[in-house]
Structure 1
Amino acid sequence: MQGGLVSPEGAAQSQPEAAFAAEVTTTTAPTQSVPATPLGGGLPITTSEGPKLFSSPTDGGGSVGGAGLDAATAHRPEQIPELLETIDLYPPRDPLTYTDFDKKYPPDRHGEEAQPNARVWRVYRDRVNELDDDLIQGWNSTLDVLLIFAGLFSAVATAFIIEAAKQLQHDYTQYTAVGVFAVLAALNTTVPAPASLPDFGRIPTTTRSRWINGLWFASLTFALIDALLAILVKQWLVEYASRMRQPTGDGRQWARRHFAFREGLSKWHVGVVISSLAVLLHVALFLFLFGLLVFLFDLDHSICVAGAIFTGFTASFYLAATLAPLWYGDCPSMTPLLAHARGV
């Protein structure tokens, strides 16, 4: 028709064509693509229509590599931090791929690896507890050996000291014998009276008796001091273990406390003190052996010479084994005390 008028037949034909054109326009409209991501869960993104949440296949909102945008999940930007707390950025792993370590220490969520109760603190606590148990057990074993040896040695040394101490005391048996002899001489004129009685104010001692008693008393004193200090150090170790067993608010706080107390063991040289106790007991033993040689000198020279040979060999071997690590780094006779002296 002319004049811009449309016939009824043309109007009937234009309606299907308009519908078809609208459908074609809709299907051929450019879609907005979203880059693929290996992360599971939902990720907030910003589109031309405003902020929306990109859903993973598990959310039913489209595929990870496609353009699945669910308009029902659109949120305002200020809600994104709250959404991130509920999103699992790492999808669950297949249980068959878990190692024994993962089963014992479950992995943390992304961004929570340094939280107060994170896995790293649980791993740290178990590992350092194993190291502490080995260290404390070794020290306690050493102290137990020192205490047993100090007790046996003190008993043996005391028996010898009882006999040697008599040389530093008045011989009352001799005084009694001289007094009885003087009385008999006074009653019997045929028996000559002693010229003089012993001086009760003076103790008849010799240089040899002084050396014997001095060495043996010093030996016993060192052994008793060693036992006392060993008991004291064992109390320190018990207190350290007790501190480590005290509960804390979280794993990170426990790690800080453990580091402080563990550093205290090194700062106050507890290992050096324990090694020094062993050296002190060794000194006590050699003092006793030297005193024994002096004691045997007047009794029998042959026995004294044999004892001197064995004692000299033992002392030489002890000094060589103790000082060898100063020149040979691979020598197994290194002690904490020598290592500390070498480091100084």
Structure 2
Amino acid sequence: MGACIEFPAGFDLRALTRPKQADPPTTAGSGHSVLPVPPTDPTLGNTFIDPQDKFWSLYLSDAEKYDQYRMESWKGDTDGILIFTGLFAATVATFVVASYDLLSPDSDDETVALLKQLVAFSNDTQPRPVNIDKDFAPSASAIWINSLWFGSLFVALSCALAATLVQQWIRRYSHDVQRRGPPRIRGPIHVYLSMGVRRFGMDHAVASIVSLLHLAVWLFFSGLVIYMSAANNIMAYVVVGGMGLGALIYAFLSILPLICPDSPYTTPFTPFLRFALAIGCTVVSAIYAIAAASVAFIYSVIDWDDLSDRSKGLNARASRIMHWTIRLYHTRLSVACDIAQEDCFTREVYAFKHTLKNVDEVHELEALYDALVPIVHPTEPSRLPPAARVDIVCFLLRDLRIMDGVYKLLRARPSTSHPLPQAVRNRRLIIALTFVRALFKVLPHATHRPDLVTVLQDATVPLYHTWTEIARNEKRPDTAFLARCFLAAIRADVYTFCLEAAKSRSETVVACRALALRLAQLDPQSWGTGIEAGGAASYEDQGICSVMIRNYYAFISDILELCGRGQMVILHSQAVVWLPMLLSVHHKAMSQLHCFDEPSALDRLRPILDAVALGRRDSQGELVPSRDEIGPTTHTLPVEDRYYHVFARYPEFYVALRQLSSVINGHSPIRRSMLPSVPMTGIGFMSPGFL
């Protein structure tokens, strides 16, 4: 047994040997992001005199961002109004100068008439009488032209004045909310002024200026049509045609947001049309509802089957109209939020293409693939049904060649010119292989896409060589261990799906077995799958169960190998990666062990239990000491039980081994004489001869 230390009877060794439970680092093993999250609290690192300042500082940091966006929007609108108004007012003023003379008698006509009389006198002829109209009245067209143009000029100048006032209000508001002082003083002041801005509708005031400017333009064009009609009919037709086309386009842009909420086009008259249309639809819906109620009443009296169908149809129409009316009352953003929650493959495709197009650095690939995992295989309820996620996976693999980025993450290794910390290397490997596993987890939902198995196999084949090379030849044991963990987890997922497909007689059984065979053949020297490449094509469900059990054996053996070598720091640093995977593989293997009747395969799992002396451990994972035959009552224990450190820190692992022991003993009870002594060094679990 080696060197031993004697302890008095009743001495509690657990208080000394049980390590302190530590919080593991966050990784992608359990579906969480492994990327460092920058602090978003603006109060971090600040010291406040008054405790209330912390809350008000948090409020002001968010409110100032909103104020900046709002004031920039107002300033942009008013600047555009001032520029357009200057050009437009100059144009209108030019036409007003020409049309103003139409409101008074033309003095040139009187001068011509008097000159004609003088000529007649000079020729000794009888001059014709000159009719000078002292009661001059301008024509109706002249009155309309000048009224419209003067009104347009007045509205335009009023808009310019209002725009300058708005800019002055913006500067005053910005000056008031940015006064110096502690946050507990500035915060309530900002709340008071901001509520005043919302109360008096400054957003609507700026929007009304734009509406008035549009009105000024239409007044000018209306006067121009009348002016051209009085001058020349052909010119009037041309102007009317141009105005009619512009009016149609303007009306179309005003109505389009009511029909298509995603339309970016809108005009100042869209809210008025929305309100009027909502009232009209409400009235129509009420009429349909009254008609349906009337028909239902008549049906209750006369009992005609045709009336019942008509009543249901009227109610359905009223319901549809009311549903559309409710959407009209909502804003564009609220409607977009509701529609965005609906399933739409086109929107997802657009987002993937746009995002992937702008990714060209390795660190950007990290963020992208870390974000794609919850989209492909969410751990929480998602708005995308499983069928939609299957289509997304096919699109990512076939059209976007998403596995190329995974290959880049796995091949990112340190060099003399580009040193790479080991933590970054492991993080990239975890992100890449977590994404690959998420792709494989979509297989059970691919009932409507039998080609997914083939697409997934074709897309991942180029990855296998790099993957197995890392698992076998990587110099860093922690990186190699992570690669083997993911390979074992993905194998278990595929084997389980293959067995379920065989039970349901799915048409994907043949493709699934080919994929399972390809995964089982990866690196057979290191993993000991026991399947030869030449004769493995004929195995079916029993063969898949066998390779699943051997995969489970290899996974546990790899963990215990690290314990035997004293490399438990690897297990501690990557616990949130390998522990959930181990429990998943264990659950899948246990579900097959209960219905597995091959004693030789079960005997392959027995060395795991023998190596850790599971039969001589208590419920906490500690070895039960043996009593000496001669001498006082003492207990002899090994100097160090490395397996107990792992069992104490990860009780789920110990529970899994005890469950495995109960299953094996249920098939063939184990005798205590079969248990060997506890090895204290590396036991060589990964050697091909041992497997």
TM-score higher than 0.5 here?
yes
SS of corresponding position for 1:170 = coil
CA distance in structure 2 between the partners assigned to 1:157 and 1:336 by the alignment: 22
Report the CA distance between 1:196 and its aligned residue.
2.9
Letter paired with 1:277: I
Matches within 5 A, 1:277-316: 277-316=209-248
Matches within 5 A, 1:260-275: 260-275=192-207
Report the CA distance between 1:331 and its aligned residue.
3.2
Equivalent of 1:239, from 164, 168, 172? 172
Are the structure 2 counterparts of residues 337 and 215 from structure 1 closer, same or farther at C-alpha, using a change threshold of 3 Å?
A: closer
Whether 1:177 and 2:112 are equivalent positions in the alignment is: yes
Q: 5+ residue gaps in structure 2? A: 1-35, 276-328, 331-691
Letter paired with 1:134: Y
Q: Which residue of 1 aligns with 2:128?
A: 194
Whether 1:228 and 2:161 are equivalent positions in the alignment is: yes
Instruction: Say whether the 8 Å CA contact 1:146–1:230 is kept in structure 2.
Output: yes
Instruction: Say whether the 8 Å CA contact 1:150–1:223 is kept in structure 2.
Output: yes
Q: Which residue of 2 aligns with 1:105?
A: 44
Q: Which residue of 2 aligns with 1:206?
A: 139
Instruction: Say whether the 8 Å CA contact 1:179–1:197 is kept in structure 2.
Output: no
Are the structure 2 counterparts of residues 181 and 102 from structure 1 closer, same or farther at C-alpha, using a change threshold of 3 Å?
A: closer
CA distance in structure 2 between the partners assigned to 1:202 and 1:219 by the alignment: 29
CA distance in structure 1 between the partners assigned to 2:149 and 2:114 by the alignment: 34
Matches within 5 A, 1:1-344: 99-101=38-40, 105-106=44-45, 115-118=51-54, 120-190=55-125, 192-199=126-133, 201-248=134-181, 250-334=182-266, 342=275
Of 257-266 and 177-186, more deviation after overlay is shown by 177-186
Instruction: Say whether the 8 Å CA contact 1:182–1:194 is kept in structure 2.
Output: yes
Q: 5+ residue gaps in structure 1? A: 1-96
- Larger of the two Rg values belongs to structure: 1
Instruction: Say whether the 8 Å CA contact 2:43–2:57 is kept in structure 1.
Output: no
SS of corresponding position for 2:131 = coil
Q: So what's the TM-score if we normalise by structure 2? A: 0.32
Are the structure 2 counterparts of residues 263 and 138 from structure 1 closer, same or farther at C-alpha, using a change threshold of 3 Å?
A: same
CA distance in structure 1 between the partners assigned to 2:269 and 2:194 by the alignment: 19
Deviations 1:48-82 (A, max 9, x none): xxxxxxxxxxxxxxxxxxxxxxxxxxxxxxxxxxx
Are the structure 2 counterparts of residues 334 and 298 from structure 1 closer, same or farther at C-alpha, using a change threshold of 3 Å?
A: closer
CA distance in structure 1 between the partners assigned to 2:160 and 2:225 by the alignment: 25
* Runs of 4 or more above 6 Å deviation: none
SS of corresponding position for 1:298 = helix
Instruction: Say whether the 8 Å CA contact 1:271–1:336 is kept in structure 2.
Output: no
Instruction: Say whether the 8 Å CA contact 2:113–2:130 is kept in structure 1.
Output: no
CA distance in structure 1 between the partners assigned to 2:98 and 2:267 by the alignment: 37
CA distance in structure 1 between the partners assigned to 2:105 and 2:127 by the alignment: 23
Instruction: Say whether the 8 Å CA contact 1:293–1:307 is kept in structure 2.
Output: yes
SS of corresponding position for 1:296 = helix
Are the structure 2 counterparts of residues 335 and 176 from structure 1 closer, same or farther at C-alpha, using a change threshold of 3 Å?
A: closer
Letter paired with 1:115: P
Report the CA distance between 1:106 and its aligned residue.
1.4
Letter paired with 2:220: F
Letter paired with 1:195: P
Report the CA distance between 1:166 and its aligned residue.
1.1
Please tell me the root mean square deviation across aligned C-alpha atoms, in Å: 2.9
Instruction: Say whether the 8 Å CA contact 2:253–2:267 is kept in structure 1.
Output: no
The share of aligned pairs that are identical, in percent, is 25
CA distance in structure 2 between the partners assigned to 1:336 and 1:123 by the alignment: 36
CA distance in structure 1 between the partners assigned to 2:267 and 2:186 by the alignment: 31
CA distance in structure 1 between the partners assigned to 2:42 and 2:184 by the alignment: 21
Report the CA distance between 1:256 and its aligned residue.
1.1
Q: How many residues align?
A: 241
CA distance in structure 1 between the partners assigned to 2:37 and 2:98 by the alignment: 73
Are the structure 2 counterparts of residues 338 and 259 from structure 1 closer, same or farther at C-alpha, using a change threshold of 3 Å?
A: farther
SS of corresponding position for 1:194 = coil
SS of corresponding position for 1:333 = coil
Instruction: Say whether the 8 Å CA contact 2:179–2:186 is kept in structure 1.
Output: no
Letter paired with 2:143: R
CA distance in structure 1 between the partners assigned to 2:65 and 2:175 by the alignment: 15
CA distance in structure 1 between the partners assigned to 2:41 and 2:139 by the alignment: 77
Deviations 1:88-111 (A, max 9, x none): xxxxxxxxx9955468731669xx
Instruction: Say whether the 8 Å CA contact 2:254–2:269 is kept in structure 1.
Output: no
Instruction: Say whether the 8 Å CA contact 2:211–2:268 is kept in structure 1.
Output: no
Instruction: Say whether the 8 Å CA contact 1:276–1:337 is kept in structure 2.
Output: no
Report the CA distance between 1:131 and its aligned residue.
1.5
Letter paired with 2:169: W
Letter paired with 1:292: L
Report the CA distance between 1:205 and its aligned residue.
2.0
Are the structure 2 counterparts of residues 173 and 339 from structure 1 closer, same or farther at C-alpha, using a change threshold of 3 Å?
A: closer
Report the CA distance between 1:123 and its aligned residue.
2.9
Instruction: Say whether the 8 Å CA contact 1:272–1:336 is kept in structure 2.
Output: no
Letter paired with 2:166: V
CA distance in structure 2 between the partners assigned to 1:149 and 1:103 by the alignment: 41
Are the structure 2 counterparts of residues 251 and 337 from structure 1 closer, same or farther at C-alpha, using a change threshold of 3 Å?
A: farther
Higher relative contact order (CA 8 A, sep 6+): 2
